[in-house]
């Protein structure tokens, strides 16, 4: 416990260190645990636990990793009294934005901690080797996830250029206090993500150390990698990874129990979720507080997305009527995160998404259209058992899959990335924001490199438009 408290203290020191230094230049004394401090298996396990706690913060999966991309897109509308991340809702964020700065700082801080674990050199007994390998696998997988999130936030999508040669984010794989890195290309970042996750799978067991979805297993990394391949448009590998996960024994929650997806942690279809216990939850800084009436209630579901559901769809239960809302804001609030104190675990990966990943990959490959239709029906008919089975193919099938992604995954941080990778405009009907149309490829669809970084690193290139 003493070591754990020290780690948390060091995390806080690292996050709130002076802005006079580059966020990419984090010295070992500010890391979760430097390589010399990791001397045995217990240190290794304590360090990876510290990283899981780090990524649960409000700047990352506790709030903004989901909220910012959703606010930038069209499933969420800004309440008239909102006073948090309003610049993103209006697409007028700037280089001095504190949320972009917190994401950049926090994700690179987590990356540094993961590098320390990956680059540590400890000897263990033969009976402990599998446990050591699994923890190292978790570190590789989490580093891949960190870079996947960084490149989504701070760069255009993979196929924005034909060869993905546009600017991504700097790859920092070892500590170097003199480093003033340039940005790697998006292709280079994706290559590293895939390498890290593939390495992770080779090191890990099929079951997690925690025995639930709060920590990673080889299967959950395959699920994350299926998403990476989908975004890269590597359809064959996306299908293969998704198939491995679907055959691993997860089950969709029944129609009658749909709400338990959001009220119960580690349910049957949860593949990876971020733990939010009473001791480590974000409270008023949680994503819940941004949606529920008992919290700030800054953001509401758009009429655009609510109107797409058929009567009787179980997913309509995640919209809660609020009689105090009126006019353009009526009548719903988002209830996917119902606990106002933030005790609901954040669902990063669940089985319904994996079915939709495989459906899209199969539809794009074009050789197993019936399989794509069946995958789509698994999700659609779970929500509405009376829904007619899908019979369309070609672009019509892909359109159906993308709409189902919108219905199933709304408010889970997917919509913006789906619009970007499908090269579609953001169109807000019945718009409550000052900007209601954002064209594909718009510079404001990605975050600025924080000014604190560009001020001290002459080699870092700012995103266009900032």
User: How far is the C-alpha of 38 from the C-alpha of 7, rounded, in Å?
Assistant: 12
User: How far is the C-alpha of 256 from the C-alpha of 374, rounded, in Å?
Assistant: 21
* DSSP type of residue 343: -
Could you write out the DSSP letters of every residue in 93-133?
Answer: --TT-HHHHHHHHHHHHHHHHHHHHHT------GGGHHHHH
User: How far is the C-alpha of 364 from the C-alpha of 372, rounded, in Å?
Assistant: 9
User: How far is the C-alpha of 332 from the C-alpha of 201, rounded, in Å?
Assistant: 42
Question: Cα-flanking dihedrals φ and ψ of residue 461, to 5°?
Answer: -100, 130
Given the DSSP bridges, would you call strands 437-438 and 319-321 parallel, antiparallel or unpaired?
Answer: unpaired
Answer CATH for 2-346+412-443 from 1.10.3720.10, 3.30.420.40, 1.25.40.390, 2.70.98.60: 1.25.40.390
pLDDT band at 178 (very low <50, low <70, confident <90, very high): confident
Q: Considering only 3-7, 35-39, 87-91, 200-204, which range has the smallest mean pLDDT? A: 3-7
**Model pLDDT for residues 129-140, shown as the tens digit of each residue:** 999 999 999 999
Asked if 85 and 67 touch (Cβ cutoff 8 Å), the reply is yes
User: How far is the C-alpha of 101 from the C-alpha of 22, rounded, in Å?
Assistant: 11
Give the helix/strand (H/E) hosting 138: helix 129-154
**Model pLDDT for residues 44-83, shown as the tens digit of each residue:** 999 999 999 999 999 999 999 999 999 999 999 888 777 7
Two structure tokens written together for 462 = 């700012």
Domain ranges of the chain: 2-346+412-443
Two structure tokens written together for 440 = 């594909």
pTM of the shown model? 0.92
Please, what's the b/e burial string for 100-137 (b: 16 or more CB within 10 A of its CB; e: otherwise)?
Answer: bbbbbbbbbbbbbbbbbbbebeeeeeeeeeeebbbbbb
pLDDT at 433 over 90: no
Q: How far apart are the two ends of the chain, measured CA to CA in Å?
A: 44
**Model pLDDT for residues 191-202, shown as the tens digit of each residue:** 999 999 999 999
Two structure tokens written together for 27 = 């010295």
Question: Cα-flanking dihedrals φ and ψ of residue 77, to 5°?
Answer: -120, 150
Two structure tokens written together for 38 = 């990791």
User: How far is the C-alpha of 437 from the C-alpha of 146, rounded, in Å?
Assistant: 30
pLDDT at 28 over 50: no
Could you write out the DSSP letters of every residue in 382-444?
Answer: HH-TTPPPP---HHHHHHHHHHHHHHHHTTTT-HHHHHHHTT--EE-TT--SS--EE-TT-GG
**Model pLDDT for residues 76-106, shown as the tens digit of each residue:** 988 877 778 899 999 999 999 999 999 999 9
pLDDT band at 339 (very low <50, low <70, confident <90, very high): confident
Could you tell me where the DSSP H helices lie in 270-368?
A: 287-291, 303-306, 351-365
Angle 320-70-261 from CA coordinates, rounded to 5°: 50
């Amino acid at each position: 416990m003493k070591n754990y408290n020290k780690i948390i203290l060091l995390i806080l020191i690292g996050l709130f260190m002076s802005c006079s230094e580059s966020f990419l230049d984090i010295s070992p004394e500010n890391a979760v645990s430097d390589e010399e401090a990791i001397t045995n298996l217990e240190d290794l396990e304590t360090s990876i636990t510290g990283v899981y706690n780090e990524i649960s913060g409000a700047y990352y999966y506790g709030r903004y990793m989901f909220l910012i991309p959703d606010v930038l897109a069209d499933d969420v509308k800004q309440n008239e009294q909102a006073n948090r991340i309003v610049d993103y809702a209006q697409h007028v964020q700037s280089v001095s934005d504190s949320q972009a700065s917190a994401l950049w700082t926090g994700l690179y801080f987590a990356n540094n901690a993961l590098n320390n674990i990956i680059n540590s050199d400890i000897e263990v007994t033969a009976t402990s080797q599998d446990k050591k390998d699994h923890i190292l696998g978790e570190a590789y997988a989490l580093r891949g996830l960190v870079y996947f999130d960084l490149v989504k936030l701070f760069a255009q999508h993979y196929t924005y250029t034909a060869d993905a040669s546009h600017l991504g984010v700097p790859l920092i794989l070892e500590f170097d206090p003199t480093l003033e890195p340039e940005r790697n290309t998006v292709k280079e970042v994706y290559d590293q993500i895939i390498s890290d996750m593939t390495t992770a799978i080779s090191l890990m067991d099929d079951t997690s150390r925690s025995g639930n979805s709060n920590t990673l297993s080889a299967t959950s990394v395959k699920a994350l990698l299926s998403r990476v391949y989908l975004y890269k448009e590597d359809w064959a590998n996306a299908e293969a990874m998704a198939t491995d996960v679907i055959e691993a024994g997860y089950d969709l929650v029944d129609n009658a129990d749909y709400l338990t997806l959001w009220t119960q942690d580690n349910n049957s279809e949860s593949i990876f979720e971020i733990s939010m216990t009473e001791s480590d939850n974000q409270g008023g800084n949680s994503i819940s507080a941004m949606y529920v009436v008992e919290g700030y209630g800054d953001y509401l579901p758009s009429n655009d997305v609510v109107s797409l559901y058929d009567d009787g769809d179980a997913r309509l239960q995640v919209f809660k009527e609020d009689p105090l809302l009126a006019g353009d804001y009526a009548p719903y609030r988002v209830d996917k995160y119902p606990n106002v104190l933030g005790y609901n675990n954040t669902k990063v990966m669940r089985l319904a998404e994996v079915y939709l990943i495989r459906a899209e990959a199969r539809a794009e490959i074009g050789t197993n259209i019936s399989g794509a239709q069946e995958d789509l029906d698994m999700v659609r008919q779970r929500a509405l058992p009376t829904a007619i089975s899908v019979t369309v193919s070609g672009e019509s099938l892909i359109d159906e899959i993308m709409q189902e992604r919108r219905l199933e995954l709304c408010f889970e941080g997917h919509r913006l990335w789906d619009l970007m990778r499908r090269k579609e405009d953001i169109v807000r009907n019945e718009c409550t924001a000052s900007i209601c149309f954002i064209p594909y490829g718009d510079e404001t669809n990605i975050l600025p490199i924080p000014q604190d970084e560009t001020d001290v690193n002459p080699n870092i290139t700012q995103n266009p438009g900032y």
